[in-house]
Structure 1
Amino acid sequence: MTNPEQPWHASLTVRGVDVTLGGQPILRGVDLDVVPGEVLALVGPNGAGKSTLLAVMAGDLAPETGSVEIAGQSVHAMPAGVLAQHRGVLQQRQSLAFGFRAREVVEMGRAMWRRTERADADDVVVDRSMAVADVTHLSDRVVPTLSGGEQARVSFARLLAQETEVQFLDEPTAALDIKHQEAVLAQARASADAGAAVVVVLHDLSLAAAWAHRVCVLSAGRLRAVGTPAEVITSELLTEVYEHPVHVISHEGNLLVVPVRGAATPAVPEEASWSAQS
């Protein structure tokens, strides 16, 4: 969904961000820039700090040190209503309220524009967002009756309806089939093409290579590499970061990441192993 009248313009800057949770350092010295017109993918192994960094960038988690700014304003100093007009967040775990119908949930994405001129377009924007997310046919369904993938697409439609200049998507493809994975990331790219800054956490490295303008690889809370897919999605770097050998191959212009099957993996401690007889 693109809107030629949408005033896309905001850039995002992250400087010197440190986060410690439960006494453990989660992010350390993170510096990052996200500009209008790009999709930036955050990738890395479990526990690398991807979702934590996304939460800090979105203003949902305050860093121990450092700063995050959208269009020169601190996201952690913005009133909630103002922040919601600048950035939208698609959470990794859906928290859709019980009893609401799908259309009502998408309409919640327009709440921050109430009593503004943009409220006049609410119905048009909601209709368009639901069509893009392929949930129009679910309009009258009560959300808890939907499958996990359908709920994820309703949440995505709500994000689109918010029409913000910066968009954060935390593992948006996790519950989706191939068709809808491609559709969600194609729309993220379309939003960027219209001028939005889009940050997306992905586990599927092939999807990151296909749809992101730049890829940020995190490892143990630090930025290990930032660059174009061709610069970052390499066998050497990914093998090192993920501690498992992978091949990166090119197929019809697309980079595909394939784990080496049967490769040596860290031994499982004897006390942690089990068998059918145990």
Structure 2
Amino acid sequence: MIRCQNLTFSAGGKRILDAVTADAPPGRITALVGPNGAGKSTLLGLMGRLKEPERGQVMLGAEDAAGIPRPIFARRLTALRQATRITPRLTVCDLVGFGRYPHNPGHLTKEDQRIVEACMTDMALDDLADRQIDTLSGGQQQRALIAMVLAQETEILLLDEPLNNLDLSHARRVMNNLSARSRAGRTIVTVLHDLTIAARFADHVVALKDGRVHAEGSPDEVFTPEVLRELYGAEVEVHRINGKPVILPI
């Protein structure tokens, strides 16, 4: 369980998050949704200790995240950021291997190598293992970064717009892999802009608007025409296919 309590954050004289309280249930996928500038990436950054709140706290279970030593925190939680700087001459295999650093700094064991290879397979990167990162397309680089995060094998995964640059097939692959990990007990929080994908794969949804929680609950509770109209200021239709909401702008 990740519990955000009264989180407040400002930048450049502007209030980005205002007393946000929300939960990410354990062993589930929580989707953060909302319009541009709502505070989704900031909230994810506070969960991952990439930013410091002005007020409030993030709890990992019964522990205050701020009090967990960094090496231990890195073995419990990992984060994929929107903009990640990558040394251009790294190979894909080397990059994914960095995910094992919190467990075995500087030297990969045979078990580490097995995990790295499995994560590359999960992201369909086997044939790119020896390619240098700067020779890849944007989508291939994104899959390599996701594989690196998966290789860290933490109990909590935070992903900021993981489907950026991905085509339909690879987006589906990523979400299916995240679903499998949540079923295995991982807690996953992800920023998603495609509401139909969020409705299909998320168990829990936190909708942000103007730095506050606008709605929180199951996809069925959040993805209604009334809630989405207020959230985005646009009319939508919500249909159901195989029991899941499908959101269409009008």
Common fold by TM > 0.5: yes
Residues 44, 218 of structure 1: 8 Å contact kept = yes
State the SS of the aligned residue for 1:76: helix
The one of 9, 27, 42 equivalent to 1:52 is 42
* Structure 1 residue 251, shift from structure 2 partner: 2.3
Q: Which amino acid aligns with 2:157?
A: Q
2:67 aligned counterpart, secondary structure? coil
Q: Does 1:66 align with 2:83?
A: no
- Following superposition, the deviation at residue 32 of structure 1 comes to 1.6
1:91 to 62, 81, 92: 81
- C-alpha displacement of 1:119: 4.7
Contact 1:235–1:247 (Cα < 8 Å) also in 2: yes
TM-score, normalised by the number of residues in structure 2: 0.96
Can you give the 5+ residue segments of structure 2 that lack an aligned partner in the other structure?
none
SS at match of 1:112: coil
What is the alpha-carbon root mean square deviation over aligned residues? 1.5
Q: Which residue identity does 2:13 align to in structure 1? A: G
Task: Give aligned-pair identity as a percent.
Answer: 37
Q: Distance in 2 between matches of 1:251 and 1:33?
A: 27
* Deviation of 1:240 (Å): 1.2
Distance 2:80 2:137 in 1: 17
- Paired residues of 1:94 and 1:151 also in contact (CA < 8 A): no
Q: Are 2:217 and 1:217 equivalent residues in the alignment?
A: no
Counterpart of 2:96?
A: 106
**Secondary structure of 1:46 counterpart:** coil
Partner of 1:138: 128
Please, which runs of 5 or more residues in structure 1 have no aligned partner? 1-10, 261-278
Quote the residue 1:43 is aligned against: 33
Structure 1 ranges of 4+ moved more than 3 A: none
* Amino acid aligned to 1:97: T
CA distance in 2, matches of 1:69, 1:188: 22
How many aligned positions are there?
249
Query: What is the CA-CA distance between 1:76 and the residue it aligns to?
Result: 2.6
Q: In structure 1, the residue corresponding to 2:52 is in which secondary structure?
A: coil
**Deviations, residues 9-61 of structure 1 (Å, cap 9, x unaligned):** xx211111000111111111111222321000000000000000000011110
Q: State the SS of the aligned residue for 1:29.
A: strand
Distance in 2 separating the partners of 1:234 and 1:145? 43
Q: How many Å separate the matches in 2 of 1:23 and 1:256? A: 38
The residue identity in structure 2 corresponding to 1:27 is L
Residue 167 in 1 paired to residue 152 in 2?
no
Counterpart check, 1:153 vs 2:143 = yes
